[in-house]
């Protein structure tokens, strides 16, 4: 098992592919509020988003995953610790790290095409090239027929694909996805997994994907970060060595995938139970019994 | 590489040719006619008019005996030779309407031109809000009628006090709703925009203004309504001509049918102006019209 209790962000000095774009989070803490009303969301959290890998972060819901994304995206700054990208500290939002949010953030007042073109237009760079790229991406995400439709005229899955295209046109070094497929029905969700995985397998850019769904995490990840309950820190890291390309129907029968799933579930249940028990003995006993059963 | 998604989740009814605004309006009108709504509406009107007719002219109920009756009002209103000198055939009638409309136009445009930018900045800049908003919140609840003496003292002539009063009510409604509109915008839109490389000013133009648009137009709807309200109040105490002036003088001269003519005219024109504001909003917010049209 490749499980280690702390992510070791110096160990991965191995193979570097052409464009390295590595994000290192080291000893980061974040507290909201002050005095008696303060709440520590992240405490002494360290991990690495390795270059040209799909890193998935999973943790009990309500833990500070979204806060971590705000920090990495540069919308907020950590209280202590550092976040660096390719060695340079992150100071604010930038197009090198694009975020896909939980809820669709497509502008409702722009058509699909205008939404996709927004980044290049706002920065005023390479508009001709971008227009070509936009049409290419529209075809790639299967939305040519919806070029001039407004987001509310698209289904949930189509909105997510439009948003993927809006991010990809900017060729971000790192793509950050915050539970992007939450709220989709199971059918479109699985289609989106395969679709997203195939996009990733095509260019192998650095991706950081946050989720609460174990199946989603195992299906997509190269590396899986398992987060602890509040205050969040890295509980464990698992390398998912299932070969690509991956398909939903074959993955269910994959021995290795099932092993990993069991392991992840045990860890996540422990973390979830911690918040559930809140120190009570009965809950602690239950937790104990549960972990025995899992073995 | 077959990464082109099978469009399993295509919403079929949105494909096909682009819907034009006009055909959308026609379609809505046709389906409105097919629904029970227009007939219910007519029944509503019939009940009120019928009660008016019966109460005044047939039953002659107590307290209704001095009221002008339905037939008297309508025959006066559509008479070529009106007894009290006011009908749809007299130029005086249109003079009153025209003057009132002109005052509304000045006041409403001024309130919109000042209120929308002020509201946008109040919503956009925290510091600006801290500085202006408390003052605004104290001035806003003061009823328009309380401003009447001050308006007459401050503004010379008979025209500008009326316009000032009308402006004031509109201005508060527009500003407040615009500000709420900015506050209602989901933060993820601004974050997405700045992530994609938009400057603060671009976020303001591309996210804040269009995002606040639905609230701005709700504000303008309220604004045009309160504009008519305060216009009539203003015209009753100051100024010459106008529908409020018409109603007030008709009362003093005991020309009661003219009061009712003035009131019904106000109702119709008030409705028409607010419909115009709504149509302008629909025109500027195609994305929203389509969203709502799908929900129908």
Q: How far apart are CA B103 and CA B233, in angstroms?
A: 13
pLDDT greater at residue B166 or residue B285 = B166
Say what the pLDDT of residue B131 is.
87
Say if residue B25's pLDDT is above 60. yes
- Nearest C-alpha in A relative to B16: A145
Q: How far apart are CA A227 and CA B62, in angstroms?
A: 80
- Nearest C-alpha in B relative to A102: B188
Say what the pLDDT of residue B11 is.
40
Give the start-to-end residue ranges of the domains of chain B.
Answer: 21-67, 69-295
- pLDDT tens, position by position, B33-75: 888 889 999 999 999 999 999 999 888 888 888 888 898 899 9
Q: Do A195 and B3 touch (CB under 8 A)?
A: yes
Contacts of B9 in chain A (CB under 8 A): 155-158, 187-188, 191
Q: How far apart are CA B29 and CA B131, in angstroms?
A: 47
Say what the pLDDT of residue B215 is.
92
Residue A174 to chain B, least CA–CA distance (Å):
12
Exposed e or buried b per residue across A228-247, where buried means at least 16 C-beta atoms within 10 angstroms of its C-beta: bbbbbbbbbbbebebeeebe
Q: Is A166 on the interface with B (CB under 8 A)?
A: yes
Nearest CB to A155 within list B3, B11, B207: B11
Say if residue B277's pLDDT is above 90. yes
Say what the pLDDT of residue B40 is.
92
Q: Do B193 and A122 touch (CB under 8 A)?
A: yes
Nearby residues of A57 by Cβ (< 8 Å), 6 or more positions away: A47, A65, A68, A208, A209, A210, A211, A224, A225, A227
Q: Is A195 on the interface with B (CB under 8 A)?
A: yes
Q: Do B287 and A199 touch (CB under 8 A)?
A: no
Architecture label for domain B69-295: Orthogonal Bundle (1.10)
Nearest partner of B111 among B148, B154, B180, B163, judged by Cα: B163
Q: Phi, psi (5° rounding) for residue A175? A: -105, 130
Say what the pLDDT of residue A232 is.
74
* B98 pLDDT tier (thresholds 50, 70, 90): very high
Q: Is A189 on the interface with B (CB under 8 A)?
A: no
Classify residue A146 by its DSSP letter: G
Nearby residues of A141 by Cβ (< 8 Å), 6 or more positions away: A161, A162, A164, A165, B4, B5
Give the start-to-end residue ranges of the domains of chain A.
Answer: 1-96+175-184+194-248, 107-171
Nearby residues of B144 by Cβ (< 8 Å), 6 or more positions away: B165, B168, B169, B226, B229, B230, B233, B234
Say what the pLDDT of residue B107 is.
95
Say what the pLDDT of residue A19 is.
60
Name beta bridge partners: A80: A29
Provide the residue-wise pLDDT of chain A in tens; the chain has 295 residues.
Answer: 444 433 333 333 333 344 677 888 777 777 787 777 777 777 877 788 788 888 888 877 666 778 888 888 888 888 887 888 887 888 877 778 888 877 778 898 998 899 888 888 888 887 888 888 888 888 888 888 888 888 888 888 888 888 888 888 888 888 888 888 887 788 778 888 888 888 788 778 888 888 888 888 888 888 888 877 777 777 777 777 777 777 777 777 777 777 777 777 777 777 777 666 555 566 566 666 666 655 4
- Strand ranges in A36-163 using DSSP code E only, listed in sequence order: 39-49, 54-58, 80-85, 88-89, 97-100
Q: Is A147 on the interface with B (CB under 8 A)?
A: no
Say what the pLDDT of residue B94 is.
94
Nearest CB to A101 within list B188, B196, B290: B188
Mean pLDDT of B144-151: 89
Q: How far apart are CA B79 and CA A264, in angstroms?
A: 87
Q: Is A114 on the interface with B (CB under 8 A)?
A: no
Residue B191 to chain A, least CA–CA distance (Å):
8
Q: Is A139 on the interface with B (CB under 8 A)?
A: yes
The answer to ipTM > 0.90 is no
Among A89-98, B77-86, B171-180, the least confident range? A89-98
CATH (residue range A1-96+175-184+194-248): 3.40.50.300
* Token pair of B225 as six digits: 């309504």
Say what the pLDDT of residue A143 is.
84
Say if residue B116's pLDDT is above 90. yes
């Amino acid at each position: 098992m490749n499980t280690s209790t702390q992510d070791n962000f110096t160990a991965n000095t191995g193979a570097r592919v052409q464009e390295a774009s590595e994000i290192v989070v080291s000893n980061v803490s974040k507290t909201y509020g002050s005095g008696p009303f303060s709440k520590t969301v992240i405490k002494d959290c360290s991990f690495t988003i390795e270059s040209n890998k799909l890193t998935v972060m999973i943790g009990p819901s309500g833990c500070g995953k979204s806060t971590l994304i705000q920090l990495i995206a540069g919308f907020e700054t950590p209280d202590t610790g550092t976040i660096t990208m390719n060695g340079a500290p992150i100071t604010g939002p930038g197009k090198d790290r694009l975020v896909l949010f939980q809820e669709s953030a497509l502008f409702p007042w722009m058509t699909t095409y205008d939404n996709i073109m927004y980044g290049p237009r706002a920065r005023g760079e390479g508009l001709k090239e971008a227009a070509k790229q936009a049409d290419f991406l529209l075809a790639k995400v299967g939305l040519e027929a919806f070029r001039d439709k407004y987001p509310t005229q698209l289904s949930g899955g189509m909105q997510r694909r439009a948003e993927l295209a809006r991010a990809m046109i900017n060729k971000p070094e790192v793509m950050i996805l915050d539970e992007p497929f939450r709220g989709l029905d199971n059918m479109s969700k699985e289609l989106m997994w395969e679709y997203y995985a195939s996009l990733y397998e095509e260019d192998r850019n650095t991706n950081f994907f946050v989720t609460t769904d174990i199946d989603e995490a195992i299906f997509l990840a190269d590396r899986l970060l398992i987060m602890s309950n509040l205050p969040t820190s890295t509980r464990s890291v698992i390398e998912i060595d299932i070969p690509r390309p991956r398909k939903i129907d074959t993955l269910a029968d994959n021995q290795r995938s099932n092993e990993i799933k069991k392991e992840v579930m045990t860890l996540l249940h422990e973390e979830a139970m911690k918040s559930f028990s809140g120190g009570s003995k009965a809950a602690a006993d239950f937790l104990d019994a549960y972990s025995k059963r899992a073995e | 590489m077959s990464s082109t998604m099978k469009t399993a989740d295509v919403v079929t009814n949105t494909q096909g040719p682009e819907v034009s605004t006009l055909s959308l309006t026609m379609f809505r009108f046709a389906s409105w006619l097919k629904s029970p709504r227009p007939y219910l509406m007519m029944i509503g009107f019939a009940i009120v008019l019928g009660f008016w007719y019966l109460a005044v002219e047939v039953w002659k109920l107590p307290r209704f005996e001095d009221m002008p009756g339905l037939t008297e009002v309508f025959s006066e209103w559509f008479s070529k030779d009106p007894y009290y000198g006011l009908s749809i055939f007299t130029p005086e009638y249109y003079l009153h309407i025209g003057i009132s409309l002109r005052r509304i136009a000045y006041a409403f445009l001024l309130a919109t031109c000042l209120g929308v930018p002020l509201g946008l900045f109040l919503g956009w800049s925290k510091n600006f809000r801290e500085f202006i908003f408390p003052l605004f919140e104290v001035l806003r609840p003061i009823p328009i009628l309380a401003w009447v003496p001050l308006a007459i003292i401050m503004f010379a002539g008979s025209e500008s006090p009326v316009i000032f009063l009308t402006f004031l009510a509109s201005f508060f409604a527009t500003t407040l709703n615009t500000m709420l509109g900015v506050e209602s915008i989901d933060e993820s839109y601004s974050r997405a925009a700045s992530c994609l490389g938009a400057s603060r000013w671009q976020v303001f133009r591309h996210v804040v203004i269009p995002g606040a648009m639905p609230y701005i137009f709700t504000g303008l709807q309220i604004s045009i309504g309160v504009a008519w309200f305060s216009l009539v109040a203003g015209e009753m105490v100051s100024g010459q001509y106008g529908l409020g002036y018409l109603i007030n003088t008709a009362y003093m001269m005991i020309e009661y049918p003219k009061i009712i003519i003035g009131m019904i005219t106000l109702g119709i024109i008030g409705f028409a102006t607010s419909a115009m504001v709504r149509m302008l909003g629909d025109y500027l917010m195609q994305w929203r019209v389509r969203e709502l049209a799908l929900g129908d």
